[in-house]
Structure 1
Amino acid sequence: MNWAPGTQCVAKCDNRKAKPGELLYHKGDILTIVDTSTRKGFYAARHNTTEEEGLINSSNVREREALRVDPGLSLMPWFHGKISGPTAVGKLQPPQDGLFLVRESIRHPGDYVLCVSFSKEVFHYRVIYQDNKLTIDNQQYFYNLIDMIEFYSKTKGSLVTTLVTPRKKQGAKSAEQELSKTGWLLDITKLILGENIGEGEFGAVYRGEYMGQMVAVKTIKCDVTAQAFMQETAVMTKLQHKNLVRLLGVILHKGLHIVTELMTKGNLVNFLRTRGRSVVGPAQLLRFSLDVCEGMEYLESKKLVHRDLAARNVLISDDSVAKVSDFGLAKMDSKETDKAKLPVKWTAPEALKKEKFSTKSDVWSYGVLLWEIFAYGRQPYPKMSLEEVKEKVEAGYRMEAPEDCPPGAYAIMKLCWEQEPRKRPGFSKLREKLEQELSKTSPSSAAGSQEAAKTGLRS
């Protein structure tokens, strides 16, 4: 085995009695290769949770695989959609106690039916949807079907039997099994949930702790949304870069929980608005710009389009590093776009008009993000309606440079806003230009700005 530094591995067994210089770990722990070792068959590695470093035996670990982005990957492989009662009975043959599936109710639109095999009969339980919750008996209430199946797999409640074996829909693959097999499924019992730190469009985000590490937990209770996020999660398992928010894994419990590293200093917009010019100097602004550019250059190398690049989707870590977040959500399939949800002020003209998304449309958004950075978090196109923005930009209008913006930074913005996508530079070219800009700021001002931002961040 020849693993490069940065490779993530899953421990196949415990190493509780570590010899001097060896790393202590348990089965299922995630370890990152730091270096090859002089000892044959050993690697130097870092424990992803304890952050401790030491030697590991290569035969005791397996590489943590990325999840395949697969439309068949389902959080609810037992869900068969709109099928009739007799069809459901046919699918639950031969009879087997506890064999089950869930279908949409044809007779009662909006409701579901849980079909369970027991004593060679199939029992149909109507699942009523009321007040945003699901119930079979008006005693137990559930947020979603995942939650309900989890409960009745442990307790029979008012059913004839506990649920034992799911009858999978043809072509569906259990996301739980795939996550478990590849090492991305985390254990709910090791998660301590803390305070709510934000409400996303799809659910709440909490601060938490997972096996001693501070984490952010995005909770998604709606079944359909959770299923869509499964695709985002699959994309995230492929990505490892210092300027992308790192996925630690997924928990399936009463819905889907996506666990990422905790970015203690919040998003870039709020960060800049609350600190302002007295704390964050031009060199620090350039550092943030470069951080985002490097993250995007990596996404570009993976042929991934972000589609929603904006300062609100950039998070700041404890040590003042900017990292891109919220990437991968249905971004690999450029056809599925909800025009009503497009962030007009950040979206390139060709994406607004013809839904043509590409790395070059991300470059346009990056130009707007640069404007936000140098305007200290102000809303772009101030005092203009969305309709005005669309019309004027199409006609060639471009925003003026923000107050005190270095001319070199504004020149980069204008390159990003070329009307023709092919004339816009790629992210590697943009990185070179930003590095040149940064080298013009004196080393003392760059260091001082970094320090000032750090102190400001802790306030």
Structure 2
Amino acid sequence: MSDLQRTLKPGMQCITKTDNNNPKSEELAYQKGDLVTIISTCQNRGWFCACHHSTGLEGLIPASALRERPAIKVDSRLSLMPWFHGSISGVQAVQQLQTREEGLFLVRESIRHPGDYVLCVSHHGDVVHYRIHHHESNLSIDLEQKFSNLMDMIEFYTINQGALCTKLMKPKPKQGTKSAEEELSKAGWLLSFQRLTLGKKIGQGEFGDVLEGEYMGQPVAIKNIRCDITANSFLTETATMTKLKHKNLVNLLGVVLHNGLYIVMEFMSKGNLVNYLRSKGRVLVPQQQLIFFSLDVAEGMEYLEEKRLVHRDLAARNILISEQRMAKVSDFGLSQSKLLKKDQSNRLPIKWTAPEALLHNKFSSRSDVWSYGILLWEVYSYGRGPYPRLAVKEVYEKVCNGYRLEAPENCPQIIYSLMRSCWEDDPGKRPSFKKLKEKLGKLIPGDQ
């Protein structure tokens, strides 16, 4: 049995390696490079029942015809809006569209009306300029058809002519950009909005709502990011997630481009760890379960440590719990590179952030270890917020001067010692996640 056969399971998306244009009875028809979702395993060893993303048809397919989706290369040139040229003049826009190809278009910032945009479209050998009005969080050309962002507007006018002289036929990419839509589609990570069912809101993130839903019958969680600029910045997070595969990391299923960006992830039915601990309490969550949660997180973080990825926002709120009560690390919104951009520094979760990161902007796996120590404190206090009697400014000052949290009520000394080792002032003296995993593993019955 191949490694892929062992990992194939219902809900997994794969790319087809071959063509099957003349399928036998009950077999699925497909061509090389198609995206399919595994529905179930079959009694016939090495075969699976799968659903074709484009046709919606279901049928049998051999494991030998499938391959895993390749990771998306993290590339600063990737853009959800390659047609957006920023601050260029009307004359420069005309020069960019000089081929006069019918329906060729770009969007630029308005120089005359700051805050507005201009849609420039090639039509009958000329270039027509449409002012895009920005009014009450909406964008509009004719003040009747309104959109929440530029991506929605462009999507609409590629299908409908509306108030324009012609449909938008072909984008003129800004020099140096690459279409994220093309790269995601080519690698099999672009999912169909028609097959996505949106359900109730289950969370509110910093950048948008988190919804419950289904994708091709599979329960999923959906992060909806509607702001153009923010959605574009999340490409790095998305590309990073396509590289990662571990039982203690929340699995990315793919992305949908519609009304902004939908990031589609596996559904974790029991919510985040903070709310789980607060709602269940000490009576329903024994300390043995706390060790399992702590070990799960350490294993997920050890994997990131091995990949040289820094999370930067490790906290119990960003740990999700599955139906089987397995803890998984989520929210890689800040895990982009080892140097945090200046415009992100005001978003730092002060109470969870290591002193060297607060003072000198130095992030590493060992600063994540500091955050893990705070997470342990949250776990063993059953969801209490750290530094409960201190304001954020006081925490910053006191921690940088050597103050450390006291042990939670009834916390075993061995666990508190682990916390304190995570809070060593010198990052080099803190344990690695591998070492933390080993120490916690020894506390599991049968692992002595």
TM-score under structure 2 length normalisation = 0.90
Q: Are positions 1:382 and 2:357 aligned together?
A: no
1:186 alignment partner, one of 166, 188, 191: 191
1:42-101 residue CA offsets vs partner (Å, 9 max, x unmatched): 956686999x9987152x334411001000100001000000000000000211110000
Q: Secondary structure at the match of 1:82?
A: coil
Contact 2:48 2:61 in 1 (8 A): yes
CA distance in 1 between partners of 2:139 and 2:200 (Å): 26
Q: Is 1:276 the equivalent of 2:281? A: yes
Is 2:89 the partner of 1:119?
no
CA RMSD of aligned residues (A): 2.9
Q: Counterparts of 1:46 and 1:399 in 2: how far apart (Å)?
A: 53
Aligned partners of 1:325 and 1:154: how far apart in 2?
Answer: 36
8 A Cα contact 1:236 1:247, kept in partner: yes
**Preserved contact between residue 92 and residue 99 of structure 1 (Cα < 8 Å):** yes
Aligned partner (choices 361, 379, 385) of residue 367 of structure 2: 361
Q: Which moved more, 1:413-422 or 1:62-71?
A: 62-71
Q: What letter is aligned with 2:258?
A: H
Shift of 1:331: 2.3
Percent pairwise identity? 56
SS of the aligned residue for 1:277 comes to helix
Deviations 1:282-311 (A, max 9, x none): 100000000111000001111000000000
Q: Is the CA contact 1:246–1:260 (under 8 Å) kept in the aligned structure 2?
A: yes
1:349-428 matched pairs, under 5 angstroms:
349-428=355-434
Aligned residues: 434
Q: Over residues 377-402 of structure 1, what are the superposed CA-to-partner deviations in whole Å (9 max), with x where a residue is unaligned?
A: 00111101122212222222211111
3-state secondary structure, aligned to 1:10: strand
Contact 1:304 1:328 in 2 (8 A): no
Q: Which amino acid aligns with 2:226?
A: K
CA displacement at 1:229 relative to structure 2: 0.7
Q: Structure 1: any 5+ residue segments left out of the alignment?
A: 443-459
Tell me the distance in 1 between the aligned counterparts of 2:251 and 2:14.
Answer: 15
User: What is the one-letter code of the residue matched to 2:280?
Assistant: R
Q: Which residue of 2 aligns with 1:439?
A: 445
Secondary structure of residue in 1 paired with 2:147: coil
Pick from 105, 108, 111 the counterpart of residue 103 of structure 1: 108
1:356-375 per-position Cα deviation (integer Å, ceiling 9, x unaligned): 00000000000000000000
CA distance in 2, matches of 1:281, 1:23: 48
Aligned to 2:138: 133
Match of 2:80 among 72, 75, 78: 75
- 1: distance between equivalents of 2:38 and 2:259? 28
Aligned residue type for 1:73: L
Q: Within 5 Å, which residues of 2 pair with 1:11-160?
A: 11=16, 27-31=34-38, 56=62, 58=64, 60-160=65-165
Q: Secondary structure at the match of 1:196?
A: strand
Q: 1:340 aligns with which of 324, 343, 346?
A: 346
Q: Distance in 2 between matches of 1:281 and 1:116?
A: 64
- Structure 2's unaligned 5+ residue stretches are none
1:139–1:54 Cα change, 3 Å: closer
Q: Which amino acid aligns with 2:396?
A: K
My pick for the range that moved more, 87-96 or 333-342, is 333-342
User: How far off its partner does 1:6 sit?
Assistant: 3.6
Letter in 2 for 1:295: G
Tell me the secondary structure at the aligned position of residue 152 of structure 1: helix
Q: Distance in 2 between matches of 1:79 and 1:247?
A: 27
Q: Residues 23, 152 of structure 1: CA spacing in aligned structure 2 closer, same or farther, 3 A cutoff? A: closer
Residues 310 and 338 in structure 2, CA contact (< 8 A), matched pair in contact too: no
CA shift, 1:102, in A, is 0.3
1:197 alignment partner, SS class: strand
Quote the residue 1:245 is aligned against.
250
Q: Is the 8 A contact 1:190 1:211 kept in 2?
A: yes
Structure 1 equivalent of residue 182 of structure 2: 177
